[in-house]
Amino acid sequence: MTEEEAIHKLIQICESQNNEYGCGNENCECFIDTAIEALEKQIPKKLIIKIHPNRIPSEQKVPYCPVCDENLEFHFHPYCCNCGQKLDWNEPYEERNT
């Protein structure tokens, strides 16, 4: 089962009112929301590349985390060191001007 499939299944459980998991209890919803957030961090997201016009060399492209906006210029890990989001370092990136 992929992360996306697990998220879909958890949402179905949460929306269900008549089974042992989807009881409608606020604590269950909190548990399911937490599980979904953890699974979403496992799905790789493309980096945001910001173009810094005032840097040398000119218009230097700097990678940022798409979730928390952490500067990843000197961090080449599979996960963001700030928020734990799994990162997709493959191009194409989403480019933004600063």
Same-domain status, 67 and 88: yes
For residue 92, give its domain range: 44-98
Same-domain status, 53 and 82: yes
Query: Which residues of the chain register pLDDT less than 50?
Result: 18-22
Same-domain status, 54 and 84: yes
Rounded to an integer, what distance in angstroms lies between the CA atom of residue 93 and that of residue 98?
A: 15
pLDDT of 24 reads 55
Same-domain status, 63 and 77: yes
pLDDT of 28 reads 63
Number of domains in the chain: 2
Total-model pTM? 0.72
